[in-house]
Amino acid sequence: MPFIELVAVLAVLQYLYFGYLVGGQRRDSGLKGPAVSGHDGFERAYRVQMNTLECLIAFLPMLFIAGTYWSALLVAPIGVVYLVGRMLFWRAYMTDPSSRGLGFMLSFYPIAALLLMAAAGAVMGLFA
């Protein structure tokens, strides 16, 4: 499971990096907390961070549950696709939010695949 654990660590680091970028946008814009609106760059970075947090809630448990039933050589690459999707989502959202679709789908589909794998493994485990 070290590959799966590495993907999980990278996902959390990625989320923290997005948070760091939000802080930079807040500093550069002069937008004072607790405001979360009033500067386009800050709002975009903040939405990327929040959307990533929303995805992490599903991604991390499904990554680990799927990893208990399926090979890490299958599960970890699905996690890598998620990480790439998040980076594409971030880059697209910061330049043109309407172009974020590919990044979103490359984040959503791995979560869906891991969910199906986790559910299938759990059901198969009931009959083993």
In a domain, 41, yes or no: yes
pTM score of the predicted model = 0.95
36: helix, strand or coil: coil
In a domain, 128, yes or no: no
In a domain, 91, yes or no: yes
In a domain, 63, yes or no: yes
Residue 47: name the closest of 113, 98, 4, 7 by CA.
98
Q: What's the pLDDT tens digit per position in 13-67?
A: 999 999 999 999 999 999 999 999 999 999 999 999 999 999 999 999 999 999 9
pLDDT at 55: 98
Q: How many domains, the chain? A: 1
Q: What is the CATH number of the domain that holds 116?
A: 1.20.120.550
Distances (CA, A) of 37 to 30, 42, 43, 100, 116: 12, 8, 6, 20, 37
